[in-house]
Amino acid sequence: MAYRQTPAVEARLQDNRSRILASARALVSEGGWRQAQVASVASAAGIATGTVYRYFPSKAELFAEVLGAVSQREVDVLAEIARSDGIALGRLHSSVTTFVKRAMRNARLAYALIAEPCDPEIDKARLTYRAAVSEVIRSIIAAGQAAGEMRRDIQPDIAASVIVGGFMEGLIGPLSPLSGHQDEEAADYQRKVAELADQIASLACAGIAAVPQTSHVLKRRQT
């Protein structure tokens, strides 16, 4: 007779897995990929190092799953904006500003997701994340082209790749640990983040708009 795990055992195993992933994410948020070691994850999760490897055969697989889980949440947020009402240019502007603001809310983690050197397995997950973000932006552009709001002489997938590449590249400097981030709750910091988000989003919209739009017009039409 094949052994079947009891509900209690299954719950304990799932709890261990969840704690490992939560601890790994917290360590990446604090010090990036290089500082997050399996032994540190195990200690933070309150389990033995060998137990971590029972759930994740390698460090790369563990952190690739961390990246996948975090990035899926960001993609879901953008997808919700893409499905919302309003003009496509407004949704594009909102998507980019939201991405920037959320990234700056946890700069160290966002830097790891976007730009920090990492193992090939993690980088593969990062490319999947970027492709998913690009697909959301592509859907907004396609809708904007159909409505006559955006240029029709550019393929939506190419435009999306350029826009996503642009705003992610634009975030590398601000997200870098060398930037010396201020208190994220400080009003001055939040003001600077809002300005950064608006400028990056305005540039993204300007390149695809059928008629040049100012950020002021975009904000007014979103409301």
138 or 218: whose pLDDT is higher?
138
Quick: pLDDT tens for 55-73.
Answer: 999 999 999 999 999 999 9
Quick: pLDDT tens for 75-130.
Answer: 999 999 999 999 999 999 999 999 999 999 999 999 999 999 988 889 999 999 99
Q: How far apart are CA 24 and CA 41, in angstroms?
A: 5
pLDDT band at 14 (very low <50, low <70, confident <90, very high): confident
* Residue 150 per-residue DSSP state: B
pLDDT band at 3 (very low <50, low <70, confident <90, very high): very low
Task: State yes or no: pLDDT of 215 exceeds 80.
Answer: no
pLDDT at residue number 1: 44
Residues in Cβ contact with 197 at an 8 Å cutoff, skipping those fewer than 6 apart: 96, 97, 98, 100, 101, 104
CA atoms within 13 A on the CB side of 205: 28
**Same fold flag, 1-57 and 61-222:** no
Q: How far apart are CA 187 and CA 114, in angstroms?
A: 26
For 219, phi then psi, to 5°, come to: -65, -40
How far are the Cα atoms of 30, 55, 186 from residue 112, in angstroms, in the given order? 10, 22, 23
CATH of 1-57, one of 1.10.287.3510, 3.30.70.141, 3.40.50.2020, 1.10.10.60: 1.10.10.60
Q: Where are the domains of the chain?
A: 1-57, 61-222
Least reliable range by pLDDT among 3-17, 168-182, 193-207: 3-17
pTM: 0.84
pLDDT at residue number 10: 58
The token duo for 169 is 């590249």
pLDDT band at 4 (very low <50, low <70, confident <90, very high): low
Domain 61-222's class? mainly alpha
How far are the Cα atoms of 69, 88, 114, 167, 209 from residue 133, in angstroms, in the given order? 14, 16, 12, 11, 20
